[in-house]
Amino acid sequence: MAEPRFDELIHASTRLSIMAMASAGTGIEFRFIRDALGVSDSVLSKHVGALEAAGYLTVRKENLGRGRRRTLVDITEEGDAAFQGHVAALDAIIGRSGERGADTSGGAPGDEHGAGAEGAAPDTGAVPRDP
């Protein structure tokens, strides 16, 4: 398990998604990431560029012939370590230390009565607003 380390650069939702996709394989096509995230080329390029500048990703171009090229994105060892550390930090924040998967106890964390207790409101962790 990676050492938990919250990473501000990775935490932005688009960058977190890019890192998740890049960690799942090698040579992820730029256009696949763009289409999956529903962003423009320029938006994706900006985010990939920031992650590349940090040493988390590498970007390479391949010639396909007839003037066609494709752009491939790969995660680096440093990027993978940063991503895994960020995921571990998020797991720690939500209370999942080393355990993947959902809580099967039926109640909210800290709720000894369970979800079905008579008259007990579920503890959502939300702070009530003043009327």
pTM: 0.71
The pLDDT, as a whole number, for residue 97 is 59
36/120: higher pLDDT: 36
pLDDT digits (tens, 9 = 90+) for 54-80: 999 999 999 988 989 999 999 999 999
**58 strand-pairing partners:** 74
CB 10 within 8 Å of CB 16: yes
CB atoms near residue 83 (< 10 Å) = 23
Classify domain 8-93 at the CATH topology level: Arc Repressor Mutant, subunit A (1.10.10)
pLDDT digits (tens, 9 = 90+) for 40-53: 999 999 999 999 99
Domain spans, the chain? 8-93
pLDDT digits (tens, 9 = 90+) for 78-108: 999 999 999 999 999 998 755 555 454 444 4
